[in-house]
Every structure is written in structure tokens, then in C-alpha cells.
Amino acid sequence: MSEKDNNEPKKSSYLKLVLVAIIFATLAIWQPWVPSKDAAPPAKGYNTELVKKAIPPVTKVVKDYSDFVADYQSPNSDIQKVYIGIDGLTIIVQKKAEGASYTTYKPTTGDLNLVTDLAEHKIPFQGAKPTTDGFFTAGNIIMIVFVALIAYSIFGRKGMGGMGGAGKMGETKAKHLEANEITVRFADVAGVEEAVKDVAEVVDFLHNPGPYTELGAKIPRGVILTGPPGCGKTLLARAIAGEAGVPFFPVSGSEFVEMYVGVGAARVRDTFEKAAKCAPSIIFIDEIDAIGRSRSSGHGNNNDEREQTLNEILTKMDGFGQNDVPVIVLAATNRDDILDAALMRAGRFDRKVRISLPDLKGREQIIKVHTEKKPLEEGTDLLEVVRGMTGVSGADLANLANEAALIAVRRKSKTICANDFELAKDKVTLGEKSGRKMKPKDKRNTAYHEAGHAIIGYLEPDFDKCTKVSILPRANALGITQFTPEEDKVSITKAQIFSTVRMAYGGRAAEEIIGGAENITTGASNDIQRITSYLTSAIMQWGLSDKVGQLAYASEYGDHLAQSVQRLPYSENTAEMMDLEKRELSDKLYNQTKEILLANMDKMHAMADALLKWETIEVEQIEAIMEGREPPTPIWFLEPVEAPVVSPEKTEDVVSEV
């Protein structure tokens, strides 16, 4: 421990003594050591008795004040002494005769001549000694708090900045993990090979800096990991520290920010000082956007504490005070686009590593990692399990493996089979089955709604394969239609976007065809939201509209490109044109959807019949219906569901019933 560290407790104790001394000195001055304001000055030239140690007698007799006046004015008065209370109203009269003493009370209107009269009649009198009724009076407590606040404002911040302050608020909240405490390695981080390659140099530099320093290369001062939530940024940071075998200081960005200005900056200093003592070491700041948000956003949301914390990080990363101290800063964020430019410049965060959602190969590797210690049934193909799960993160796959294990436990099995993964996949991606009961009318309407989705998706060219249709309620949905892509897509064409919109319109179009425009339901609300999002992005972001042109009017995150919220980056005429274009495209694609369904009414009736009979159909049943064959009974189906079956010949009855 350094000499500076040894002196810190002494400085802290000295600060406390100073605060206590200030409080008591102030109270000594504050105490009202003054006599009662009701006491009148004695008669001129009369030497009154000073305050003595005599104790007033205890009396039980109370007399009127007029009796007391007559008593002391009487020539034969036997009053030995008069005690005037601190309130100036209570008077104890001590008589010469034993047991004759009594108490009286001066009227609240006051008798300013009392002391003078007593002096003229040569009757000794004594005032009570002033008191504050104890130390912890209301006035004293208020004064203590007031002085403490002033002393804290003067000395507190210096203490926090230099020695931890009251309660050591300036100390870092980062955990200190030694190399042997970190068990995560690169082998535990699957599906991010490109990211691992980008950070491997950092690990190699910490292990073997010789070849780098010989060529004049310097270790990167900062590496920022960015990507969607759940893709493994924090896990990768731990793996870097584990592979490097150096002390690791993980901390969340929000832990630097406090109510008091200066606390965050003090914690930043403390974090870097402790990391420098253990160098080589790694500092990991998770969710750095909590303190690293751009200061030039133009929205007026200034925060002095956050900005001071950010400034301290900028200062520490621009050299750490010693350019040769090997301290590497890792940071993670989901929104690197909002980080301050000064933070992202070369010399601070020299390298930005993008961690994307895993592709098919990556998903297979991740699910293997999470099932490594789980007993799988022989023949379980994990590649098929994750094939259609495009867009899921590593965290989602970890949850999938855990849910499959829970399902296997519920069926009292000692191994996890492929069907457990399928049920877990439905639960994770579609939600838990709902126990709600649907009326036959609602069930029939849902069957046609989902059949409309499935038929449009099946007939659209170059569209994902329809693998499951169900009218079992799940979460907030009355039914689901599942499409499984054969391979991952890195981009989508204009035709595919329009195909997706038509597929989404399939449910609403089927409802209108079967029940009429007056009987369409709110079941298509989520479909309409997705359609609106697709068409808005196509026109305002992707430049897929001939009328609007190939210009971007919205950012990747859906925000307008304007730096100021006062004015949009396009005219009102352009906004009106984009609204009209969205409406025209929407109407055009919806009409095309209805035409496709009207040309395939037999298939729509057959699929609705199958759904009402079995509630869930899969690839074999879907393909048979679309090829005009009788759908086979699902192998998992035990008993038919008692539900009305609608035959293609009874279209008119269906319309009237719905």
C-alpha cells in the first residue's frame, strides 16, 4: 500500500473532527444565554441580590396575584424571599413561617413595576437561571443540520474527490476479479468467430508484447463491443480477460452516475487508479451509453454529473497519466450511434468490434455449447432445431435449451428429445399456450384468418416455407402461422417485401371474403402494424418508391434525420406525398391478396376444416391441402377436437353464420 493510501484514513478522521468542532462552536454562539425579556430593570441605586444557589421551596398552595401584591406591600409582611420563574409569570413566595409558602402567577398583561416594588419594600427576590431545556431542542437540531450542510458543501466534495468523502461515495463500484477467478474462455463464446479474431490481438499483446513493441506497435487503449442485446458482448469481455489472464474490473455505466455532481468523476479516477496498480489489467464498462451519450444532441437534456463523468473518462483514456501502463478499456453498448464523437475517436476507443446476431452455423455452435452438459436423446439434430430461428440471439438460444430441459423434466424423461426442442421453440418464439376458451364462431374465424396467411405465403414465389399453422391461443395471439427460412438472408428484395406484405394481409382478406367487410375483426392488428412498418421503411428509408425517389427520410432506428426536433428534414408536400404513396401501395397489395385467395377458395376451406379438426397442422398437412390431396392425420394427434367442420360445399352457410 502506498503512503498516500496510508494517509487517507488520517485525512478522513481529521475531516470528521473539523466538522464536529464547527458544529459545537456554532452551537456555543447560538445558545440564547439571555435573561427573560419580561424582567424589568431594578430600581435605581438598589443593590439586588444576585443569583444564588438557593433552591425555591416546593409549594402546594396557590394564591391569587392580588393577594401576593397585598402581602408584599403590607408593613408587617413576613415574606422571606421571592423567586421569579424564567417565564416571568410563575412566582414562588417563600414565607418565614414553615408551610406558609405559596405560588402565584403574574397576569399575562405583565406587571413591569414588580421588581421595583419589591426593591422599595426591601423584599429579596431572585430570577431563575436561564436554560435551553436540554441540548437537543428544535432550534439546536435545525442548527446542526444547517451547519452540517454548509460544512459538507465546503469539505465534502474535496473529500470525495481526493479521499472518498463521507461514506466513501467516490470509491469505484467495479469488482476486482483476479485471473484465477475468471473461468470463461473463447471456447465458451460460440457463433462470433469474427469478433474473437478482432480481439485476439489484444490478448496476444498482453501475453507477449515483445514482437509488437519491436515494431513500434502500441496496445489498443480501448475496444468497444457493439451489437444487439443478448448477442454475447459481456460474455466476450469476460472471455478476453480469462484468456489474457489479467485482473478484470467489470462495472456498469450507470454505477458511475449519482445525484451529486463529481461522484461519477471520482469513481472513474478510482477505477483507473486501481486498475493501474494491477497492470496489466482490463476495465470493462457495460452499457457505456449511460454515461457516453453524445453531448451535442441538441435536445437540451444536459446533465452536469453525466458530462463530468464522461469528461473524466476522456481524460483517463487519453493516456491514463502514464502512456506505458498496459490498461485496456473494454466497453459494450447496443447503441454506438449515440455515443459522443470524442469518446469514439482514435486514441481512445481504437477498435470497434461489431457482434451481430448469429447465422445458421453460429446458432448451431451456440446451442451445442448450451447443451454440452445436457443429456440429449440419440439422433437429436440440433442443426434442424435452430434452422428456422433467424434473428434470435445467443441469450435466446440459451433460454431455448433450458426450456427444452424443463419440458423433458415435466414428462419425466432422462433425456431431451427433438420434440422437446420444438415445444420449447414454440414457447420461446410464440409464447406460452393460453387457457382461454374460444366460441365456435371465433374459432372458425381464426381458422380462416390463419389459413389466409398460410395460403398466401405458400403461393408467393421465393418465400419462406410454411411449417406450422395453429389456432391454439398463445400469449396475445389467437393463432399463429409459422414460416421457416431455408437459409439466412443478408438482404431482401423489393418483391420479397411486397410478398411479405401480401402474406400479412392474408388473414384480414380471408376474414372479409368469408364474413364480409362488416365482420372483419381486430385479430389483424399486429399484421397491420407490421405492414405499416414495412411500407414506411420501404418508402422513407430504403428508397423503394418510384414516386418518392431513392432518398432517405428516416434513420435506421426510425428517427427522423433532423438534428433538431423543431423541424422535419422534408416539406409538408413531401410528407403528404409519402402518406399517399403508402396508402396506394397498401390498397394495391391488399386487393392482390384478395384476388389470390378468391382463386384458391377450395384450399382455404380445406385448410380451415383441418384446423378446426386438429387445431394444429404441419408441413405434411399443408402440402397435401395445397396439392389438392386429403391431408393425413398428424402422428401426434390422439383424438379429434370436437369442433364444427366447415366443408367447401357449405360456403353460403359459413357466410351467414359468421
**Active site residues per annotation:** 450
**Grid cell locating 242:** 480469462
Q: Which three cell numbers stand for residue 452?
A: 389466409
Helices 394-410 & 418-430 angle (0-180, nearest 10)? 120
* 102-105 and 480-484 beta bridge pairing: unpaired
Q: In whole angstroms, what is the distance from residue 157 CA to residue 154 CA? A: 7
How far is the C-alpha of 196 from the C-alpha of 209, rounded, in Å? 19
Between vectors from CA 62 to CA 58 and to CA 64, what angle results, nearest 5°? 140
End-to-end Cα spacing for the chain:
82
Q: What are phi and psi of 76, to 5 degrees?
A: -100, 30
Q: How many residues does the chain have?
A: 658
- Residue located via cell numbers 412498418: 533
d(CA 331, CA 286): 6
- Per the CB < 8 A criterion, the answer to whether 107 and 35 are in contact is no
Question: Residue 513 forms beta bridges with which residues?
Answer: none
Residue ranges of alpha helices (H) inside 100-208 are 114-120, 138-151, 157-163, 193-207
Q: Could you tell me which residues come within 8 angstroms of residue 94 by beta carbon, excluding any fewer than 6 positions away? A: 56, 57, 79, 80, 81, 82, 83, 101
Nine-digit cell at 3? 503512503
Q: Which grid coordinates are listed for 352?
A: 470497434
Q: Are 130 and 35 in contact (CB under 8 A)?
A: yes
Contact predicate 212/219, CB 8 Å = yes
- The three cell numbers locating residue 620: 405434411
